[in-house]
Amino acid sequence: MKIKQLILQNFRPFYGRHTLTLTTTEDKPLVLIKANNDVGKTSVFMAIYFCLYGRLPLAYRGTNPREDLARHANRTARVKGNGRTFVKLIFEHKGKIYDIIRSIDFRKAELGELPEIESEGLDVYEGGEPQHFKDIEEYNDYIEAILPEDASQFFLFDGEDIQKYTQHPPTEDVRHAIEMVLGIRELLNAREDLEVIEQELGRDLNNFLAKVAQRSTEAKAVQELGNEIDKLREENRQLEKKMEELQEVIKSCDRELMKDMAIQEKVNERAIKEQEKARARDEIAAIKEEKRDFNRHIGVLLVNPLLEKLSEMGVSQVPDWKRTAISALLSWESDTCICEREITPEIRARFEELLDKKFEERPVEFLGERAVQLLLRTEGKALERRFYELESRKAGLETGLAACEDEIEKLNKEIGEQKDLSFDIRAKETTRKNAADDFETYRRKRDENNGIITEKNASLERMRNKLVDEEQMNKDIKLKSQHLQSCKDCKSAINVAIESLVDETRKEVQQLASDIFVNCLTNNPKLYRGIEITDNFELKIKTVAGTTLPVWIQAPSAGQSQIIATSFIAALNRYTAREAPVVIDTPIGRLDPVHKNNLIKYYPKIGPQIVILYQPNELTDTDIEPIGKYVSSEWHMTRDPANPDATIISKE
């Protein structure tokens, strides 16, 4: 960064518009601005700072920023009326021209009173293009990237104020500023950030690993659940196998039962037929018995007409064959009557007695009487009906019997000697019932298992869905692990870089500061060997006597301290990572003539652009003469003769 121009309007003592052209060249890096006390040197210094950072340097800040702003309004201007304070800084940075314009609109104020600020303005142009910032933070980022405010203390400073770098061990703020100027702060911040990132990545990796562990547990649970489902499915397969076997048993039972029941039906039918047959036989026998009684009567009835005829005709007229037949009939030596009834001895005896008694006397009459008696007792037609009825019944029964026998024979042909199957059927029915009961039990168990399988499958599905793809997870872990490793490696590398940079930079700055101090600035080079800079950027003085003590302990004079600090700042500027102008207010302060001359001679070497704001007592024309060839421009600020409250700037 190199300042080209500073334009001031109604800023502090500068009433109206004033322009300071501060352009320098490589061989003329100096700009001198001379002014008596209380004319405006510090205001120029303040204007540059205010334009860059929107506020005053720390040493000049009041308690109320608004009042600080109001104080920028030129006294003459604010008394005259409403107006505008305006500071424009034009500078070059890395090949581009920047314009930063700060303005303050103020209201008229009475003499001795601060004006009311109406508005503030900030306009920035980069390469002629207006820059837009959404807020002040964004602008701060913008300007800090050009020259950090913290680092500016080594570029824009009051010569009498720099003794602070020697009087006490540097505060943390100063140390940070030095680190920033030297480019170390970035690495320290990077190390801090990488430590945080390393922790975050470690946590991320741990979380991934924990997830994997959890996934492992979940995967195991899924596996176990899967095994349980498989076990249930296997159990169901066994159940279904048993059910199939039972179905076969049931079917077999059904088939056999159907067959047995068909047979049994025929067995039963045959039994019924047997019973019918037996009944028919019994009835036929009864009919035969009844017929025998009937025959006894009917025999007489049949003989009776014969006997009546015989009685009418007389025995002599009866043909021999008929008489023989009757005699044979009467004298028939048989145990069976013509009615087929058995003639027991008792019956025969009785019959013979009757025959003997009556037959000898008049046998035909006797028989005839007997027949008449029978006829009287039984009507002939009734006997006849009875006869045919019996015959009919007998014939019917015999037909039924024959039918029964046919049926029985037919059944026998069908079922052979098959006996009653009721027991077998009951046994098979029991077997079938048991099989059906078992089947139902297994079916219920299978259905219950299917329900459980469905539920478990749903759980399994949910658990599976919860599991992220294993391969992706492993990939993530690998990536995270690599990420962590790269973080660790970068952090280690940055640590090495910090150690190296701090050490080398410190040595470089230390060497530069020592050279500047011993060879250029000190008034007693034979007493000092140089400046030592500790790791914490504490300044120590090395004497030829061999002592190395902190500057603030060695307690040199104020001038000597200023020279040491200047040496340090000059070294920093020579070695800085920041390119910036050096603007020194009150450069000489309390330096003795030797120190002053040394310092003046050294000014051109401090940096590429040095603006020196001095009062005539600090630097005389004689003092300036040795560095005259390095001066690009000289400016003189004086009170306006017409307005003692205003400063005018003129180029010499």
Partner 1 sequence: MSSEQHIKKVLRTAEAKFNLREGVLTEIYNAEARVVHKGKRRNIRVDLRNILITALKEDDKK
Contacting residues toward partner 1, per CB under 8 A? 140-141, 144-145, 148-150, 180, 182-183, 185-187, 189-190, 193-194, 196-197, 200-201, 479, 482-483, 485-487, 489-490, 492-494, 496-497, 500-501, 504-505, 508, 575-577
Rounded to a whole number of angstroms, the minimum distance from the CB of residue 482 to partner 1 is 5
Q: Which one, 179 or 260, has the nearer CB to partner 1? A: 179
Please say whether the beta carbons of 34 and 46 come within 8 A: no
> CA 235, 237, 241, 247 torsion: positive or negative?
positive
Nearer to partner 1, 92 or 144 (CB): 144
Q: Specify burial of residue 315 (Cβ count, 10 A radius: 0-12, 13-18, 19+).
A: exposed
User: CA 255, CA 26: separation in Å to the nearest integer?
Assistant: 123
Least distance (Å) between residue 49 CB and partner 1: 15
3-class secondary structure, 399: helix
Q: Least distance in Å: CB of 495 to partner 1? A: 8
Closer by beta carbon to partner 1, 140 or else 633: 140
The minimum distance between CB 187 and partner 1, in angstroms, equals: 7
How is the chain split among helix, strand and coil, in percent rounded to 5?
65, 15, 20
Please name the helix (run of DSSP H) or strand (run of DSSP E) that holds residue 109, with its range, or none. none
Least separation in angstroms between residue 145's CB and partner 1 is: 6
Tell me the closest approach of the beta carbon of residue 188 to partner 1, in angstroms. Answer: 9
User: Which lies closer to partner 1 via its Cβ, residue 76 or residue 505?
Assistant: 505
Residue 137 C-beta: closest distance to partner 1, Å? 9
Alpha-carbon Rg for the chain, nearest whole angstrom, is 75
* Total count of residues recorded for the chain: 652
- Structure token pair of residue 325: 């037949």
How far is it, in rounded angstroms, from Cα 574 to Cα 247?
A: 105
Shortest Å distance, C-beta 50 to partner 1: 18
Min dist CB 517 to partner 1, Å, is: 20
d(C-alpha 238, C-alpha 388), whole Å: 77
Query: Which C-beta is closer to partner 1: that of 190 or that of 477?
Result: 190
Going by the DSSP 8-state scheme, the letter that residue 58 receives in this structure is G
Residue 321 CB burial class (10 angstroms; 0-12, 13-18, ≥19): exposed
Residue 579 near residue 1, CB atoms below 8 Å: yes
Residue (134 or 377) nearer to partner 1, CB: 134
Q: Which two tokens stand for residue 92?
A: 């070059």
How many other CB atoms are there within 10 angstroms of residue 341's CB atom? 16
**Residue 263 or 509 having the CB closest to partner 1:** 509
CA nearest neighbour of 14 among 652, 639, 583: 639
Distance, in Å, from the CA atom of 503 to the CA atom of 513, rounded to the nearest integer, reads: 15
Looking at the Cβ atoms of 189 and 418, the one nearer to partner 1 is: 189
Q: Which is nearer to partner 1, 397 or 571 (CB)?
A: 571
